[in-house]
Amino acid sequence: MNTASSDGRLVASISLDLDNLWSYLKTYGDATWSSYPTFIPVVVPRLLELFDTFALTGTVFVVGQDTELDENVDALATITAAGHEVGNHSFHHEPWLHTYSRERIVDELERAEAGIARVTGTRPRGFRGPGYSLSPALLEVLAERGYSYDATTLPTWIGPLARAYYFRSANLSESEREIRSRLFGKARDGLRPVHAYRWKLDHQELLELPVTTMPLLRVPMHFSYVLYLHQASPAIARAYFRNALRICSLRGIGPSLLLHPLDLIDKSDAKQAAFFPGMALPAAEKRRVIDSCLREMTSRFDVRSSGAMAASMASTPLRLRQPDHD
Domains identified in the chain and CATH numbers: 11-316 (3.20.20.370)
Buried b (16+ CB within 10 A) or exposed e, 50-65: bbeeeebbbbbbbbbb
Rounded distance, CA 64 to CA 114, Å? 8
Rounded distance, CA 224 to CA 246, Å? 19
Dmax over CA atoms of the chain, in Å, equals 55
pLDDT at 275: 83
**Three-class SS of residue 258?**
strand
Rounded distance, CA 18 to CA 166, Å? 20
Q: Specify the length of the chain in residues.
A: 326
Spatial CB neighbours of 235, under 8 Å, sequence gap ≥ 6: none
- Count of alpha carbons within 13 Å of 256, Cβ hemisphere only? 29
Backbone angles phi and psi of 297, in degrees to 5: -65, -45
pLDDT at 4: 67
Backbone angles phi and psi of 72, in degrees to 5: -100, -20
Backbone angles phi and psi of 106, in degrees to 5: -60, -45
pLDDT at 1: 55
Rounded distance, CA 150 to CA 87, Å? 10
Burial class (CB in 10 A: 0-12, 13-18, 19+), 235: exposed
Beta strand ranges found along 120-182 (DSSP E): 126-127, 149-150
Radius of gyration of the chain (CA): 18
Rounded distance, CA 161 to CA 187, Å? 9
Backbone angles phi and psi of 182, in degrees to 5: -110, 15
- pLDDT average per 10 residues of sequence, the chain (326 residues): 76 98 89 95 98 98 97 98 98 93 97 98 97 95 98 91 68 70 77 95 95 95 96 97 97 97 97 89 98 98 98 93 81
Spatial CB neighbours of 76, under 8 Å, sequence gap ≥ 6: 40, 44, 62, 66, 67, 119, 120
Query: Do the Cβ atoms of 285 and 42 come closer than 8 Å?
Result: no
Rounded distance, CA 258 to CA 196, Å? 15
